A and B are shown apart, each in its own frame.
Chain A
């Protein structure tokens, strides 16, 4: 879809306005505002947005709040054996009602809620940073290929085709296995790089397609005529106009990346203790499934809920930003 503009042959956008603002002067903002309104009409997308917001805020501040209220940190293990096992929901170790461990305790006696919230920090961070890495690579690559065109474009996109057909996840596993970092933080950084560097391919294709349709428009011609350098045209003039599809695709990349991180953590190549993500928490839960099933269920369900909401939000954004797009 080319540059956002308001005109008569796009009634879906214009129709959302009770009183169209004067002229087409602020067409740029109008598109975003119209998209926002369409998004708010999509109940599933709003639901997704609220859930994602709640989970993000809870993950960021939850562990502190729990520590303030109960004095329990995510890695606190009670030294008294009788306090080791709390069964959810809301029971104390002796079976009476209690708010201390809403999700019970894990096989070590740690509070599951605190661990799930702390795990959320890592899971969300991996999802967002790896997506940013893929955004950076994909947008630069796709925009360059699309703008330069011709033989260079052909070559660059052929390379993408070849990379597409590779069983990249298999290569990522080899990478993470042989380069396994000694520290937990090092392994997380390795995850960012590994996940980011394999998930940019579709982004590159999308951006290239956008750029192809943008690069012959007047504003690019004007920029070129006034002597703007090629990198500056690409990144200051063209890339900002591809933002809509990029945002949509980035929103949909986050859950994919989070899922891949969880998958790698499950196999033992992802997040390492003492750090924990939803994936590694669920994996610990699988080990103890017979006795502590909730240790799998809570991180698993939290993660599924987050991915579910992000997917709905992404779908909603796509419908909102690209009302004419028939692809679903």
Chain B
């Protein structure tokens, strides 16, 4: 197990460097510059700008310096657009917003998805099963940027129950709509995975044994079946986290939340190279570490798995 973790960590570092290199290469290969969107500038001023940002050096030197600062000091430099703010401080400020929405949405999706999936699995091919699975398919098919505004239309603009946008700290009513919007897709996926996993487990021998012992159906499901039936859900957590990142980008745009995703989109539009690199690297690191954690959890939950 320890060897597995170490091996995975050893692969992780080059992977992150690959991500940073691809991103850096894309930004540099594209025609134009972060200041080329502005009006035409005199040659002397352009020379100064290039000097200030080290753009007059050969590309390998610029690349080397960027990587060195990241590897050595975990320093992505200062943003080109938000002058005087370091990339690290922007990430530190916006991360809590994204993390709050993301984690709450995933928890909500887990609770609702597992309950709905189990209910469907207990009576396969019943009306209940078909209804909840059709609902789940609907959840997968409705894009969250359509779902979000429709929820706003209903709950904010028509019923006046909830605020339509803006961030207002964590325990506030502003969180509710973004969280529901974000969790819709995962709820649906988790319900489908739970159903599939549970149906398979409920057919297995150890469940028959548990029933034969005279345990109540509730006990069989909660104590025995769920543990095995939830394995697909656990392994889905990895991909889910990746989708969660894209999901939060959309939700932050819809509800105007000052999160990582919103900054990332702004940075991409502004060609704010240090900020793009910083956020991409941060997301890559988070995803890779989370995937590792998921694999460890998987081994822990399923004693048959050995690395």
Contact A311 B26 (CB under 8 A): no
Contact A300 B196 (CB under 8 A): no
Across the interface, which residues of B come within 8 angstroms of A304, CB to CB?
138, 141-143, 146
Contact A179 B30 (CB under 8 A): yes
Across the interface, which residues of B come within 8 angstroms of A174, CB to CB?
23, 26-27, 268, 276, 280
State the CA gap A171–B16 with chains docked (Å): 13
| B51-59, B99-107, B149-157, B215-223 - the one binding chain A | B149-157
State the CA gap A178–B280 with chains docked (Å): 15
The number of residues on chain B lying at the interface, defined by a beta carbon within 8 Å of a beta carbon of chain A, is 48
> Is A19 among interface residues, defined by CB-CB distance under 8 A?
no
> Is A175 among interface residues, defined by CB-CB distance under 8 A?
yes
> Is B140 among interface residues, defined by CB-CB distance under 8 A?
yes
B143 → chain A, closest Cβ, in Å? 5
Contact B280 A171 (CB under 8 A): yes
Across the interface, which residues of A come within 8 angstroms of B254, CB to CB?
286
Q: Who on chain B is nearest to A255 by CB?
A: B141
Tell me whether chain B's interface is mostly helix, strand or loop, or mixed: helix
Contact A308 B137 (CB under 8 A): yes
The contact size tier of chain A is 35 or more
Across the interface, which residues of A come within 8 angstroms of B246, CB to CB?
169-170, 263
Interface string of B271-294 (1 = CB under 8 A from A): 100001001100110011001000
Partner of B153, one of A177, A268, A289, A311: A289
Contact A165 B138 (CB under 8 A): no
> Is A46 among interface residues, defined by CB-CB distance under 8 A?
no
Contact A171 B26 (CB under 8 A): yes
> Is B210 among interface residues, defined by CB-CB distance under 8 A?
no
- A278-311 interface with B by 8 A CB criterion: 279, 282-283, 285-286, 289-290, 293, 296-297, 300, 303-305, 307-308, 311
B residues neighboring A (CB under 8 Å): 11, 15, 18-19, 22-23, 26-27, 30, 32, 134, 137-138, 140-143, 145-146, 149-150, 152-153, 157, 192, 195-196, 200, 242, 245-246, 249-250, 253-254, 264-265, 268-269, 271, 276, 279-280, 283-284, 287-288, 291
A-B pairs with the 10 shortest C-beta distances?
A178-B30, A300-B146, A177-B268, A307-B141, A308-B141, A266-B145, A328-B196, A304-B142, A304-B141, A286-B149
A-B contact pairs, 13 of them (CB 8 A): A162-B11, A165-B291, A171-B19, A174-B280, A175-B26, A179-B30, A266-B250, A267-B249, A269-B268, A285-B149, A300-B146, A308-B137, A328-B192
Beyond known contacts A165-B291, A297-B150: 17 more, CB 8 A cutoff: A44-B134, A162-B18, A166-B19, A166-B284, A169-B246, A170-B279, A174-B23, A178-B27, A178-B30, A178-B271, A255-B141, A266-B250, A286-B149, A289-B152, A293-B153, A296-B146, A308-B141
